[in-house]
Amino acid sequence: MINKSHRRLMFSAAVVCGAALLPALQAVAQDFPSRPIKFVVPFPPGSGTDTSARFFGKKLSELTGQPVVVENRPGGNGFIGVQNVLSAPADGYTVFVGSNSTLAVNVALFKKLPYNPQTDFAPLSMMMRAPAVLAVPPASPYKSVSDLVKAAKAQPGKLNYASGSAGYQLMAELFNDIAGVSTVHVPYKGASEALAGVATGTVDLTFADITAAQGLIKGGKVRALAVASERRAPALPEVPTTAEAGLPGYQAYVWVGAMVSAKTPKAETEKLSSLLTQIARLPETREFYERQGAEVMSGGAEEMRRFQATEIELWKQIAVKAKVEQQ
């Protein structure tokens, strides 16, 4: 039997051991990162998510002196990229750079999602928000949103739309609902592929974030009919807003943020969060996104957690309103 003296001795020993371990744990956090970090992007190169990962990766490398490798894992509604991160060691060296599709919208679209974006991940930092652009082929007969809506109403189910992710799919379905039309979904692996489908005339229209689309728009490869924001985008000042184009009440944004596995130790998670939030607040980060027609979002981990929860509920409501059947 252990008497009181023994208990006191054991407790004192535990306190001493804990005190001895604390500097070691703090040293681990201070030394982190001590080797290359991998940013996993669930979309192909060229998407707004990919662009954000590469910008933040470069800045993180400059801050830490460690290389940051961006690895694109497209396909499977983002599941491939998610699984790659969640199956990797939860040590802070594998970061998931996701968008509203993988971190919020998928919850509204799938009955049995193979991951939980709120409990399987720990948020690090927001990165950016960008309005969606409604784009059609350069040779499209539809010169305006009104032309497009009129044609879609005259021929229900004939026009089709490309979506590069679940988020873009819901944007298009919300457009269908508000405009009172029926267009057919054609899924692609990412925004760049969806835009390529529009550029070649394979599909009739798409919604894509302005960071991925503006180069093609300015180059005449696709035609923008409207930007789905409150105000015209400085990067595309000649493109009307959806309200100006005759579709009031329709707004749609893409956002990007970084997360790690929820199993990642707190010290490493907090260090990464601090570093990424620091990058988000740099003047050059704001300028980088402004040039693309987007805006930086500088919220830290807790702000991102609250924002994500709000977004999940929002897209659930949109999916119900647009009568989107869960997969």
Confirm whether 248 is domain-assigned.
Answer: no
**pLDDT > 70 in the chain, percent:** 91
Does residue 54 belong to any structural domain of this protein? yes
DSSP state of 17: H
Residue 314's CB: how many other CB atoms inside 10 A? 14
The whole-angstrom separation of Cα 113 and Cα 295 is 30
Q: What is the pLDDT of residue 5?
A: 52
| Residue 322: φ, ψ to 5° | -85, 0
Asked if residue 90 belongs to a domain, the reply is yes
pLDDT in tens, 100-127: 999 999 999 998 999 999 999 999 999 9
**pLDDT score, position 6:** 53
Tokens read off for 17 = 């051991």
User: Is residue 23, in this structure, part of any structural domain at all?
Assistant: no
Contact partners, residue 280, CB within 8 Å, separation at least 6: 56, 125, 126, 127, 296, 297, 298, 299
What pLDDT does residue 309 have?
96
The answer, yes or no, to whether residue 22 has pLDDT greater than 60, is no
Say if residue 219's pLDDT is above 50: yes
Q: Which pair of tokens denotes residue 244?
A: 């100006």
**In this predicted structure, what is the pLDDT of residue 25?**
45
Does the reported pTM lie above 0.85? no
Do 142 and 108 lie in a common domain?
A: no
Q: Is residue 164 part of a domain?
A: yes
3-state secondary structure of 168: helix
pLDDT in tens, 240-279: 999 999 999 899 999 999 999 999 999 999 999 999 999 9
Residue 183 has pLDDT above 60, yes or no: yes
Residue 18 pLDDT > 70: no
What does the alpha-carbon distance between residue 104 and residue 59 come to, in Å, rounded to a whole number?
A: 26
124 and 261 belong to one structural domain = yes
Q: What is the pLDDT of residue 195?
A: 96
For the domain that residue 176 is a member of, what is the CATH number? 3.40.190.10
Query: What average pLDDT does the chain have?
Result: 90
Q: What is the pLDDT of residue 29?
A: 56
Residue 125: strand pairing partners: 258
Measured on CA atoms in the order 47, 231, 204, 163, is the torsion positive or negative?
positive
Closest CA to 118 of 274, 317, 308: 308
Number of structural domains, the chain?
2
Sign of CA dihedral 25, 27, 30, 32: negative
Q: Assess whether pLDDT exceeds 90 at residue 292.
A: no
261 lies in the same domain as 126: yes
Whether 24 shows a pLDDT value over 80: the answer reads no
User: With 90 as the cut, is the pLDDT of residue 27 above it?
Assistant: no
pLDDT at 10: 47
Q: What mean pLDDT comes out for the span 49-67?
A: 97
In sequence order, which residues have a C-beta less than 8 Å from that of residue 8 and are 6 or more positions away? none
Residue 36's domain spans which residues?
A: 32-130+254-321
Q: How many CA atoms lie within 13 A of 164 on its CB side?
A: 31
Residue 199, both tokens: 């550029």
> Which pLDDT band, with edges at 50, 70 and 90, does 237 fall under?
very high
- Tell me how far the alpha carbon of residue 130 is from its chain's centroid: 10
Claim to verify: residue 123 and residue 140 sit in the same structural domain = no
Mean pLDDT of 206-235: 94
Strand, helix or coil for residue 28: helix
User: Is-contact 125 300, C-beta < 8 A?
Assistant: yes
pLDDT of 15 over the 60 cut: no
**CA torsion angle for 282, 287, 290, 294 (degrees, to 10)?**
-30
Residue 243: inside a domain? no
Has residue 211 got a pLDDT over 70?
A: yes
According to the model, what pLDDT value does residue 321 have? 82
Residue 3 lies in a domain: no
Question: What pLDDT does 3 receive?
Answer: 55
